[in-house]
Amino acid sequence: MTVRQVLISGAGSGFGRALAQRFAAAGCRVGCADINADSARETAAMLPGDGHRVYQVDIGDDASVARWQSEVAATGEPVDILINNAGIASGGTLLEADMAEWQRVLNINLLGIVRACRAFLPAMQKTGSGHIVNVASFAALAGGPGIMSYGVAKAGAYTLSDQLRAELHGSGIKVSVVCPAFFQTNLLSNWEGSERMRGVAEKLMRDSPDTLDSVSKATFEAIERGDFLILPTKREPMRWRIKRWFPNLYFRQLMKLVASRSRGG
């Protein structure tokens, strides 16, 4: 049986590590990529099976991503699944987020995905197979106040995935985009911007009914099915339906929720 090779950026912790564990348990060989090589090695060491690899990659840097692609190509094994998971969290309004924050968040959360797709897509096109999975956020689909740069970057990741899916139709290459809401993970360890919004995000994560285990399981199963839009947190499928079918109602409910939280409710 052919062993699938799965590349995961941001595999050194949190959601990326949990996905690495899921795919390794399914018999895949996992390439653990992270800006922190020690964290990537820790992930690889805890995975079942053998042949897992470690890559130190800064997805915000052209040369680093090009080196990653060269190292993967040198293995002689095709990439079956590319999971673009690495990113940073940010918070603040349009005016609170300065241009340095905008540039950093867009460079990593959006252009990092562009770099990785451009690096690994040509080889997939040669084989006529593969699966690109981009991790965005529910903020990409339904914006809210206070996460401006993050929401815009993730919306770009969603639209990139939608466009890429259309471009690759009929090629044998699948595209998925993962859009979770806040859940209990280490997302805030790479936080940019407003400390006020960091506190809000921490509360949302604490109050979430979702866990790292449940979200990674739902995501893994949806990737295996070949779903395009993956909403792995429990409340978001219904929220997405309301947003699409009754946008004004959704907006009113969102504003009531924001007002309640601002009062400490």
**Which amino acids are annotated catalytic?**
150
Specify the 3-state DSSP secondary structure of 188.
helix
Q: What does the alpha-carbon distance between residue 150 and residue 15 come to, in Å, rounded to a whole number?
A: 17
Cα diameter, the chain: 58
Asked if residues 181 and 160 have their Cβ atoms less than 8 Å apart, the reply is no
- State in Å, rounded, how far the first CA of the chain is from the last one: 55
What lies within 8 Å, CB to CB, of 93 at 6+ separation is 145, 146, 148, 194
Specify the 3-state DSSP secondary structure of 126.
helix
Q: How many Cα atoms sit within 13 Å of 60 on the Cβ side?
A: 11
